[in-house]
Amino acid sequence: MTAFLAKRIGIGLITLIVASVVVFSVLEVLPGDPALLMLGMNATPEALASMREQMGLNAPLIVRYLNWVGGMAVGDFGRSFTYSSPVIDLIAERAVVSLPLAVISLILSTAIAIPVGIFAAARRGKVGDTVSMGVAQVGVAVPNFWFALLLIYVFAVWLRLVPAGGFSGWGGGIWSGVKSLMLPAIALALPQAAILARVTRSAMLEVLGEDYIRTARAKGMPRRYVLWRHALRNAMIPVLTIMGMQFAVLLAGTIIIENVFYLPGLGRLVFQAITQRDLIVVEGVVMLLVASVVVINLVVDVLYAVVDPRLRVR
Amino acid sequence: MSLLEIEKLCLNIGNVPILKDVDLTIEQGEVLGLVGESGSGKSMTSLAVMQLLPFSAQTRGRVTFDGVDILAAPEAAMNKLRGNEIGMVFQEPMTALNPVKTIGEQVAEGIRWHTSANRADAEDTARKILDRVGLPESQFPLSRFPHELSGGQRQRVVIAIACALKPKLLIADEPTTALDVVLQKQILELLRDLVDERKMGLLLISHDLAVVADMADRVTIMRHGEVMESGETARTLTEQKHPYTRQLAVASMHVPDRSGDAARAAPQTPLLEVDRVVRDYPGRRPSLFARPAPFRAVNDVSFSLREGQSMALVGRSGCGKSTLARMILALDRPTGGEIRLDGAPVSTLGEAELKPHRRKMQVVFQDPYGSFNPRHKVERLIAEPLHLLEKQPSATEKREMVAQALNEVGLKPADMEKYPHEFSGGQRQRISIARAIITKPKLIVADEPVSALDVSIRAQILDLFADLNGKLGVAYLFITHDLTVARAITDEVMVMHDGQIVESGKTGDVLDHPQSDAAKALVAAAPDLERALQRRLARHEASGTQEA
Amino acid sequence: MSTTTVIAEQAGWRGILRLAFRNRSFVIGFVITAVIAAMALISFVWTPYDITNLVVADRMKGLSAAHPFGTDHFGRDILSMIMIGARNSIAVAVVAVALGIGIGVPLGCWAAARGGWVDEMLMRFNDVVFAFPALLSAVMITAIFGPAAINAIIAIGIFNIPVFARVARAGALSLWPREYILAARAAGKGKAQITIEHILPNIASILLVQGTIQFAIGILAEAGLSYLGLGAQPPMPSWGRMLFDAQTRMMVAPHLAIFPGLAIVVTVLGLNLLGDGLRDVLDPKLRRER
């Protein structure tokens, strides 16, 4: 177990290091002088030079990389020149929107998908299976931002139940915050739920064909018992893999969805930073998202070991 | 009334008839052997009794167990019977247990379900039955997971599950086919003891007449979904009234005619020399920082094989025989030692220098289904080793050579236009042999070449091997766990155990008078139809004289 | 994502096709895909209206016989826009899949054949790329080069590389211990030759299935990027961009958002059905269950 975890943590760290090198070098080779961007076109050469010195742009590449990584390790993501504030503050301010959005979507999609997948597998070939999987088949094909537009049209424009966009903030109580995240979360979650339900169903069907299911049935255990007590846990292994990958997709999906709903989250931050060429913000947010993908993969690995004793070797 | 009565059972899957008018009975405490080749419907018969058939199966006829009409019984009633009154043991122990549950949970689960015992009592019963099947708690606590057990141990767990509630009937579907002979003997003995002890009826399904002759009071012989013959074991198998019974029995004891043995005519020059060969594999790390201890699969093995000679390499599964075979074929490299073929050190040559030597040795594998690329036609499959010739033959020459090879193995040249899936298992094994002989090799390494085949096919393939040895003078190294095969077509035999050759000599000498413990165990465990029948008849006479 | 490593034991592609056309999912998917592809091809020579011709008088018209899907805020015919937009979607997805197969499959096969550090490196490379969802790479690429259609292709293509590498590797790894590969090695064939003669033909089917899945994902991703303005740039019509333009006008003209969205859904649905059908036909393990 410890060896398994140590290896997975090591792999996660390597992934992070390589990713940071990629992000750093990609954004470093960019044409354009950050100092110039910061001071504007009318800056004097002297001011530029002192700005470059101040920003550490004259140091060798490797030193700048180490400074950047070292800074991030202690929470210093640099300073945004468009917002004139530390990037970490911007991120913290925006994360209170994006993180709840991603988490609510993940919970929502899991809570819908897994029961539906199990239900369909248990009633395989019957009407319930055909209908739910037909819906899922279409759901997989729906782009989340289009689904978001339809939701806005129906619930905000037509029924006027929720605001069409924007974020009320958490100041007005949890409910008003959740309320403005409800539609975005549904828009993100349902297409993902369709995928997850299909994966759950096929994983269940695969497991239900295994020899040990027949052994359990030969023991006299009823079909329902076998489904819940024997099949489900084994079927969770591929489902966990897909859930881990979906978290990455959900995070990326927040970039689009936050733009559809005008939510002041990380996705919108990074999107605006690109248009304003505020690279230090782009770097910081991208690294943060990559890091959360890596952490989630690690969590999935730990869950594997919880589900599957074969991975708990020593 | 019998414990289990099957009358005129018919079974269709879709429109395909699987069983036709099957009749069969088992009395309380009786062992019935159900024998047949693959596709005879013997497994489907047992699944029909358990009502665990595939969804698309439809049944007709009558199956009565202890007065209950099983085909008409509702699912809830079947759940009460299964595991409680009827237990079942399956063929494949490696996949028969749920990998994420402990063995304790899996044994206790059925006990709790059927007896509504509390957890502690159920675990207590589980402990007892696991102890009874040879898994004492001191070594095998209930908290073990299946992956921590070997195949034989897992089969014991499956038997414990099946017998935990003292069922009246035990169904064992090829319970030892996936195990080696020594384990087979242990498991069969365990089953017999449990049956005697608990007065259970046992339906033992097997393809192996010798196993059935040893175990069963009565036999039922099936073919293509129909019962051919039923009766008392010794009488049925000795009298062989039904032609199919006769065919099976003859095939099981078949010994090919080896009068054309090439070894006698050939000069005594060594063809293959294996010299102190060692193969280590990296082991698992005991902890994060410890150096992994290597696992020695082959340990200091030396022997030599003369031209035209047939030699068997026998041993239990995992003894290192297949690793050795791969090294001889230069598919794997030894960690130490040297292998020479016709004087050339094939174990150290690079792939380019190996080419002319590879021509002299070819291979036949066990699985007639996995041995061919399913997307190539037979012509291309058989011609593949021609790649090794110095001068590539033209397309017509190639076809001629393939046609000749097909002729040698008893197939038609026209077969080269077909795909492998159009052939049966036995025919595929012939194609496999045709591929092996096309470069006119001096040595063929055959890794369990007949163990996946039905007995009647097996006899024909053994004949073919013997025939080609005489005609082409090719030497064989047979890797097998089956002593009957070794006895049938080899001059010499080597016994391998834990990576070492522990005994070797003339086949008859070693198998009749084994010296080492490993060889003794193998010989004692090997099922033998003739001896099993003699034992059974002797027992009958003994009991007959006593009664008189 | 498919981790199917079961290889179809079929002889020849002709038999597979015969089976495929008896599979309902495959037939429906095939018809939808063919119609969309035909629409894109026809748009090169003919569309109902010339979309470079802006007719302000006709702006945001609803559905009518003249404009079955209505018109947009410049008075352009939406059906014509969708037909031309299909080109962009298909082109991006095709190139991105080709990029994934062209680089990913050789990498995966190489890793499976070579094993050891090559394999380890490939898996780590996969981890890194998987940590950058396509949208994130597109964001970075746009940050470098500015918005353009090519960004979408590169970003989606890069993401496809580890997907195909992983599928090819898993398929190849399941084949290498097969006896027919051992027989080929005993016949003196090298790893490259075995990969070409034995491995590739036998993993082609799972790659094909994965290809249709990635194609569908590519269409969805391209639409998302165009919606954000990171993909195809106006005046080139693209489905995602049409949805972006529709958003602010949705209260007055909801049809602006309906039809481009439906075009995406139908195309992706068709491809997924095609992939499901192919998988049913090619995967003998699933077939046995029926």
Residues B99, A234: C-beta atoms closer than 8 Å: yes
- Work out the pLDDT band at C56, boundaries 50, 70, 90: confident
Domains of chain C and CATH, by start:
3-289 (1.10.3720.10)
Residues C179, B331: C-beta atoms closer than 8 Å: no
The verdict on A117 and A264 lying in the same domain is yes
Averaged pLDDT for residues B419-434:
90
For the ranges A25-39, B127-141, B406-420, C271-285, which has the lowest average pLDDT?
A25-39
Domains of chain B and CATH, by start:
91-166 (no CATH), 256-284+293-360+443-457+473-513 (3.40.50.300), 370-440 (no CATH)
Residues B384, C187: C-beta atoms closer than 8 Å: yes
| Half-sphere CA count of C75, side-chain side, radius 13 A | 8
| pLDDT at site C12 | 61
For the ranges A159-163, A242-246, A310-314, which has the lowest average pLDDT?
A310-314
Give the percent of chain B with pLDDT over 90. Answer: 65
Q: From start to end of B218-376, where are the E strands?
A: 218-223, 226-232, 270-281, 295-306, 310-315, 336-341, 344-345, 361-364
| Half-sphere CA count of C139, side-chain side, radius 13 A | 30
Amino acid letter, residue A96? V
Q: What is the pLDDT of residues B364-411, one digit of tens each?
A: 998 877 888 888 899 999 999 998 888 889 999 999 999 999 999 999
CA angle A83, A86, A87 (to 5 degrees): 85
Residue of B nearest to A222 (CA): B79
> Which chain C residues touch B435 with a CB distance below 8 Å?
183
Phi, psi of B273 (to 5 degrees): -125, 125
Boundary (domain end) residue, out of A65, A86, A107? A86
CB–CB of B303/B494 below 8 Å? yes
Amino acid letter, residue C235? P
User: Which contacts (CB < 8 Å, 24+ apart) does range B491-494 have?
Assistant: B491/B261, B491/B263, B491/B309, B491/B310, B491/B311, B492/B309, B492/B310, B492/B311, B492/B312, B493/B311, B493/B312, B493/B313, B493/B314, B494/B303, B494/B311, B494/B312, B494/B313, B494/B314
B96 → closest Cβ in A6, A215, A221:
A215
CB–CB of C260/C106 below 8 Å? no
Q: Give which of A146, A268, A269 to mutate to test C binding, by max C Cβ within 10 Å.
A: A146
Residues B95, A233: C-beta atoms closer than 8 Å: no
Residues C9, B374: C-beta atoms closer than 8 Å: yes
CB–CB of B168/B85 below 8 Å? yes
Asked if pLDDT for residue A1 goes beyond 70, the answer is no
For the ranges A214-218, B446-450, B528-532, C207-211, which has the lowest average pLDDT?
B528-532
Residues B50, A218: C-beta atoms closer than 8 Å: yes
Asked if pLDDT for residue C14 goes beyond 80, the answer is no
User: What is the side-by-side order of every strand in the sheet holding B336-341?
Assistant: B295-306, B270-281, B336-341, B344-345
Residues A211, B88: C-beta atoms closer than 8 Å: no
Q: Looking at the complex, does the CB of residue B385 fall below 8 Å from at least one CB of chain C?
A: yes
The verdict on A141 and A217 lying in the same domain is yes
The verdict on A144 and A236 lying in the same domain is yes
Residues C144, A29: C-beta atoms closer than 8 Å: yes
Give the residues across from B279 on adjacent strands: B298
Q: What is the pLDDT of residues A151-169, one digit of tens each?
A: 988 888 788 877 777 777 7
Residues C188, B361: C-beta atoms closer than 8 Å: no
> Which chain B residues touch C8 with a CB distance below 8 Å?
374
- Work out the pLDDT band at B263, boundaries 50, 70, 90: low
The verdict on A153 and A278 lying in the same domain is yes
CA angle A103, A104, A105 (to 5 degrees): 90
For the ranges B182-191, B422-431, C8-17, which has the lowest average pLDDT?
C8-17
Q: Looking at the complex, does the CB of residue C243 fall below 8 Å from at least one CB of chain A?
A: yes
| pLDDT at site A142 | 94
CB–CB of C222/C89 below 8 Å? yes
**Closest C-alpha among A132, B48, A199, B374 to residue C205:** B374
> Which chain C residues touch A290 with a CB distance below 8 Å?
131-132, 136
Amino acid letter, residue B212? V
Q: Looking at the complex, does the CB of residue A6 fall below 8 Å from at least one CB of chain B?
A: yes
Burial of A159 (0-12, 13-18, 19+ CB in 10 A): exposed
| pLDDT at site C93 | 92
Asked if pLDDT for residue A220 goes beyond 60, the answer is yes
> Which chain C residues touch B330 with a CB distance below 8 Å?
186
List chains touching C (3+ CB pairs under 8 A): A, B
Q: From start to end of B175-315, where are the E strands?
A: 201-206, 218-223, 226-232, 270-281, 295-306, 310-315
Q: What is the pLDDT of residues C201-233, one digit of tens each?
A: 889 888 988 999 899 999 998 999 888 888 888
Averaged pLDDT for residues B451-480:
89
> A305 to chain B, minimum CA–CA distance in Å?
10
Give the residues across from B357 on adjacent strands: none
> A200 to chain B, minimum CA–CA distance in Å?
18
CB–CB of B99/A310 below 8 Å? yes
Q: Looking at the complex, does the CB of residue C261 fall below 8 Å from at least one CB of chain A?
A: yes
The verdict on A239 and A286 lying in the same domain is yes
Asked if pLDDT for residue B165 goes beyond 50, the answer is yes
> C290 to chain A, minimum CA–CA distance in Å?
10
Residue listed under structure tokens 């070594």: B139
Give the residues across from B63 on adjacent strands: B6
CB–CB of C97/C160 below 8 Å? yes
Phi, psi of B11 (to 5 degrees): -140, 130
| pLDDT at site C194 | 94
Query: Structure tokens of A244?
Result: 């881990």
Averaged pLDDT for residues A95-111:
91
B-proximal residues of A, 47-76, CB under 8 Å = none
Other Cβ atoms less than 10 A from the Cβ of B105: the count is: 19
A217 → closest Cβ in B82, B109, B145:
B82
The verdict on A233 and A297 lying in the same domain is yes
The verdict on A52 and A142 lying in the same domain is no
Q: Looking at the complex, does the CB of residue C117 fall below 8 Å from at least one CB of chain A?
A: no
The verdict on A69 and A209 lying in the same domain is no
Alpha carbons A109 and A198: distance in angstroms, whole number: 12
> C190 to chain A, minimum CA–CA distance in Å?
32
| pLDDT at site C19 | 78
The verdict on A58 and A118 lying in the same domain is no
| pLDDT at site B55 | 80
| pLDDT at site C116 | 85
Q: Classify C133 as helix, strand or coil.
A: coil
> A273 to chain C, minimum CA–CA distance in Å?
9
> A149 to chain C, minimum CA–CA distance in Å?
7
A286 → closest Cβ in C136, C228, C266:
C136
Alpha carbons B429 and B367: distance in angstroms, whole number: 8
More confident residue, A120 or B375: A120
Alpha carbons C199 and B313: distance in angstroms, whole number: 32
Residue listed under structure tokens 């599950």: B161
Alpha carbons B547 and C15: distance in angstroms, whole number: 67
Q: Give which of A219, A237, A312 to mutate to test B binding, by max B Cβ within 10 Å.
A: A219
Asked if pLDDT for residue C36 goes beyond 90, the answer is yes
| pLDDT at site B264 | 64
Residues C140, A149: C-beta atoms closer than 8 Å: no
Q: From start to end of B417-491, where are the E strands?
A: 443-447, 475-480
CB–CB of B176/B182 below 8 Å? no
**DSSP 8-state symbol, A155:** I
Averaged pLDDT for residues C92-116:
93
- CATH number of the domain bearing residue A270: 1.10.3720.10
More confident residue, B296 or C73: B296
> Which chain B residues touch C187 with a CB distance below 8 Å?
358, 384-385, 387-388
Phi, psi of A185 (to 5 degrees): -65, -40
Q: Classify B205 as helix, strand or coil.
A: strand
Other Cβ atoms less than 10 A from the Cβ of A126: the count is: 10
- DSSP-assigned states of every residue in C58-109: GTT--S-SSSTT-B-TT--BHHHHHHHHHHHHHHHHHHHHHHIIIIIHHHHH
Residues C48-57 as b/e (b if ≥16 CB within 10 A, e otherwise) read ebebeeeeee
Q: What is the pLDDT of residues B66-105, one digit of tens each?
A: 989 999 999 999 999 999 999 999 988 989 999 999 999 9
Residue of B nearest to C289 (CA): B54
Give the residues across from B87 on adjacent strands: B170
Alpha carbons B233 and B214: distance in angstroms, whole number: 9
| pLDDT at site A134 | 93
Please give the mean pLDDT across all residues of chain A. Answer: 85
Boundary (domain end) residue, out of A52, A86, A120? A86
Q: Looking at the complex, does the CB of residue B371 fall below 8 Å from at least one CB of chain C?
A: yes
Asked if pLDDT for residue A144 goes beyond 70, the answer is yes
Other Cβ atoms less than 10 A from the Cβ of B293: the count is: 12
The verdict on A111 and A253 lying in the same domain is yes
Q: How many domains does chain A have?
A: 2
List chains touching B (3+ CB pairs under 8 A): A, C
| pLDDT at site B443 | 95
| pLDDT at site B50 | 93
Query: Structure tokens of B312?
Result: 């068997």
Q: From start to end of B233-286, where are the E strands?
A: 270-281
Averaged pLDDT for residues B37-48:
90
| pLDDT at site A225 | 92
Asked if pLDDT for residue B546 goes beyond 70, the answer is no
> Which chain A residues touch B115 with a CB distance below 8 Å?
none
Asked if pLDDT for residue C135 goes beyond 90, the answer is no
- Work out the pLDDT band at C4, boundaries 50, 70, 90: very low
B-proximal residues of A, 230-289, CB under 8 Å = 230, 233-234
Q: Looking at the complex, does the CB of residue C179 fall below 8 Å from at least one CB of chain B?
A: yes
What is the extent of the structural domain holding A255? 88-313
Residue B44: alpha-carbon gap to chain centroid: 20
Query: Structure tokens of C51?
Result: 């979309």
**Closest C-alpha among C231, C214, C226, C238 to residue C40:** C238
| pLDDT at site A37 | 65
Alpha carbons C101 and C165: distance in angstroms, whole number: 8
Q: Are strands B500-506 and B492-497 parallel, antiparallel or unpaired?
A: antiparallel
CB–CB of B371/B448 below 8 Å? no
> B540 to chain C, minimum CA–CA distance in Å?
47
Asked if pLDDT for residue C6 goes beyond 50, the answer is no
From residue B166, give the alpha-carbon distance in Å to each of A10, A25, B162, C283: 52, 71, 8, 42
Using left for φ > 0, alpha for ψ between -120 and 50, and beta otherwise, residue B308 falls in left
CB–CB of B37/B243 below 8 Å? no
Asked if pLDDT for residue A237 goes beyond 50, the answer is yes
**How many beta-carbon pairs below 8 A join chains B and C?**
70
| pLDDT at site B267 | 65
> Which chain A residues touch B87 with a CB distance below 8 Å?
218
Q: Looking at the complex, does the CB of residue B351 fall below 8 Å from at least one CB of chain C?
A: yes
Boundary (domain end) residue, out of A69, A86, A103? A86
Asked if pLDDT for residue B535 goes beyond 90, the answer is no
Query: Structure tokens of B494?
Result: 């080597």
> A125 to chain B, minimum CA–CA distance in Å?
11
Q: Looking at the complex, does the CB of residue C177 fall below 8 Å from at least one CB of chain B?
A: no
Residues C183, B331: C-beta atoms closer than 8 Å: no
Q: Are strands B218-223 and B226-232 parallel, antiparallel or unpaired?
A: antiparallel
Residues C186, B367: C-beta atoms closer than 8 Å: no
In sequence order, the 6+-apart residues with CB closer than 8 A to the CB of B24 are B4, B5, B6, B9, B32, B34, B45, B220, B227, B230
Burial of B243 (0-12, 13-18, 19+ CB in 10 A): exposed
The verdict on A126 and A251 lying in the same domain is yes
> B267 to chain C, minimum CA–CA distance in Å?
27
**DSSP 8-state symbol, C7:** P
> Which chain B residues touch C186 with a CB distance below 8 Å?
329-331, 358, 361-363, 385
The verdict on A133 and A46 lying in the same domain is no
